[in-house]
Structure 1
């Protein structure tokens, strides 16, 4: 009898070419996990992730699922994965779920955090997980600008895929901006995100914080529905997929 297994995964994306398996490289998170699972079960395992994080992007709560005939206990699957996966990938949770569960199709909300180091003195120990902006950022203006992004909008201006044929309408539930010393975190919660959307929103809000864009210009950026209207693409290393929610879970 086939089983559907759900994984919650944490990874440092620094040395990987993103989540999704690719034909020209084995340096993807998906392929590393599939290789270990296939060896463990003796089956050709394909895992489905909640989303395709880009090269260099990190995750604390990526979710994936796979189908298997294996009868191995859940705890044994978890231990095997963590024994044989590289040290920069960890499986936090393993659970058996209903046959119809799909990590991507059933996701109802995601949270991404973008971390900025706002100082001209480098952060030596966390530099691989944050983007350094040396000039002071105006957090109040960034918060004002973020308010214009909340709600249901056409986010085509914030999508790096210009040939996107599917709907570019998404709903942003919340954008929280907070700081601790020189560290600034931009936290985005929404029902889904377009290709590079969070990094473009982060880059645009940084430009607001530097005084290059006014908060009110966000309205015009959304209206134009052109990638060129929005700000720069913020570097991948500052981005982390924090959490994915599914129906029945507290949102």
Structure 2
């Protein structure tokens, strides 16, 4: 019997077009569409595994995916061929064979998200679904100070959705930054893993601090209380992007193992990558 070959795909998608990443009976998730497209090329059912499962409305620029197949196809088939079977809003931008030891989910040492938030009197209609929005000025310095309390290993129960299925609320955050961009802010978070809604709950709390609802120290107090009801409401998913994962020093992988691609807002307001 032919030994299965494992393939790595890097996939981008517009999350506002689909029902999240994880397969559902509706068949309208990113995973559902991707598995059907790959199966059309492989001519057999395929199961894909990703680095980070995203909710409905959350985008990805560098979702890391792997699958196994016994058929022989060139890399172009798993990129251009698969893309020909995908709906608008999902695209494979890289494909390569990898060792069977590689695992998109369990091999990732860290994952990174960026949230783009525009601030202004009116919602950004032309980027509806692609950026978050808040109507009042925000104190960027206060938000940056607050985010630093989350760096390190902590119990993040205060930022965990009620339906979160993770066995432990403990995660290690290696980076949490708030950066001013034209018209708003970029929130960047990197950790060994994220709880359900954890980043959107981070952003909701930082926006509350930025508008003056509470001082930066509130971010630390929430960690201590471990009570989700004490933190701010979950922020909208629109501006959240999964930006990739870090697999350590693996020269044969894109980026040498650190597969990160982040969006930014150019001076004219266009979203670029």
**Contact 2:171/2:191 (8 A) holds in 1:** yes
Q: RMSD of aligned C-alpha atoms?
A: 1.4
How many residues in Structure 1 have an aligned counterpart in Structure 2?
Answer: 250
The structural deviation recorded for 1:163 is 6.6
Alignment of 1:45-64 (within 5 A): 45-64=46-65
Matched residue, 1:205: 206
Matched residue, 2:189: 188
**Contact 2:245/2:258 (8 A) holds in 1:** no
Distance 1:179 1:127, change over 3 A: farther
Alignment partners' CA distance in 2, 1:179 and 1:26: 39
1:53-93 residue CA offsets vs partner (Å, 9 max, x unmatched): 00111000111100101101112221101122112101011
Residue segments in structure 1 that go unaligned for 5+ positions in a row:
none
1:173-218 residue CA offsets vs partner (Å, 9 max, x unmatched): 1112112221311011111100110000010000000111211111
**Contact 2:111/2:192 (8 A) holds in 1:** yes
Alignment partners' CA distance in 1, 2:28 and 2:214: 37
1:19-46 residue CA offsets vs partner (Å, 9 max, x unmatched): 00012x1110000010011111111100
Alignment partners' CA distance in 2, 1:32 and 1:250: 26
Alignment partners' CA distance in 1, 2:164 and 2:177: 30
Alignment partners' CA distance in 2, 1:247 and 1:178: 26
**Contact 2:166/2:195 (8 A) holds in 1:** no
**Contact 1:26/1:32 (8 A) holds in 2:** yes
**Contact 1:162/1:227 (8 A) holds in 2:** no
TM-score, normalized by length of structure 2?
Answer: 0.88
Higher RCO structure (Cα 8 Å, ≥6 apart): 1
1:92 and 2:93 correspond: yes
The structural deviation recorded for 1:250 is 4.8
